[in-house]
Copies of this chain bind each other. A is one copy, B any other.
Amino acid sequence: MIAILVIGNELLSGQVQDTNVSHMLRRFGASGHKVGEVRIVSDGIHEIAQALTALSARHQWVISTGGLGPTHDDVTMAAYAEAFNQPLQTCEALVQIMRDYYGARLHDGHLRMARLPASVELIHTDHIHWPLIKVGNCFALPGLPEVFLLKFEALMSVLPAQPPLFYAAVDTSESESDFAAVLEDQQRLHKGVEIGSYPKGIGKGSFTRLTCKSTERSLLEACFESLSQLFKQRETLIGSESPKRFEPSS
């Protein structure tokens, strides 16, 4: 289970619209990674540190984005240091990578970004020159979308593969109130399947989509057959999507 922590005042104020979260949710969904929670917090050291502490205790991995630059509003590494109760110190391994990259152009502004918590791990991949920054079970990714996308692919290459998720859907012309009780029985019968109920639209043309998700294809197929039969009998079945590998919306 993964938690996503997005850092940035510019997102909370509506100044900038986030695209990184929806990208992560789609990619994680497609690859079978379950996301347990998403948080967007401000550029405050304590706010970020509190979120890191809470999320890292309850999830296998935390992926943060944003706040890695050299300016005064980039405080993510200071927050990691607070959350993991470690000093911030100059990471000599990262300084060496910077020296190789910038040569004579390396200056103090760059070195600000080499101040990392003492126990940081730098993880090298084939996807991008710069290493992934990992502290405990938390990965710190940048917020700038162009760089984020590269780093995210690097991250995906190091996370262990997950079993794929399967998906099916049944559409009914009924509204949720009409079938809530019988659907509850269906969820009780099909325990290995997550049944969701989603009204689509209001008024004329509205319907309800029932979605089934499971990592067990056979359980999913049984649940799909059962729901299809149920709404066929109620003469309200208006469509269905047969069991297939789950693909997030684009």
A241-B61 Cα distance, complex, nearest whole Å? 40
Do B249 and A14 have beta carbons less than 8 Å apart? yes
A70-B201 Cα distance, complex, nearest whole Å? 16
Q: Which of A32-54 contact B (CB under 8 A)?
A: 34-43, 47
A22 proximity list for chain B (CB < 8 A)? 14, 17-18
A151 at the interface (CB under 8 A from B): no
Do A10 and B42 have beta carbons less than 8 Å apart? no
A72 at the interface (CB under 8 A from B): yes
Please classify how large the interface on chain A is, using the bins under 10, 10 to 19, 20 to 34, 35 or more.
35 or more
A198 proximity list for chain B (CB < 8 A)? 10, 16
Contact residue among B29, B47, B177 (Cβ-Cβ distance under 8 Å from A107): B177
* Shortest beta-carbon distance from A87 to chain B in Å: 20
Do B71 and A197 have beta carbons less than 8 Å apart? yes
A47 proximity list for chain B (CB < 8 A)? 36-37
A29 proximity list for chain B (CB < 8 A)? 13-15
Do A39 and B36 have beta carbons less than 8 Å apart? no
Contact mask A1-35 → B, CB, 8 Å, 1/0? 00000000111111111100010011111100011
* Shortest beta-carbon distance from A52 to chain B in Å: 14
Q: Which of A126-157 contact B (CB under 8 A)?
A: 144, 146-147
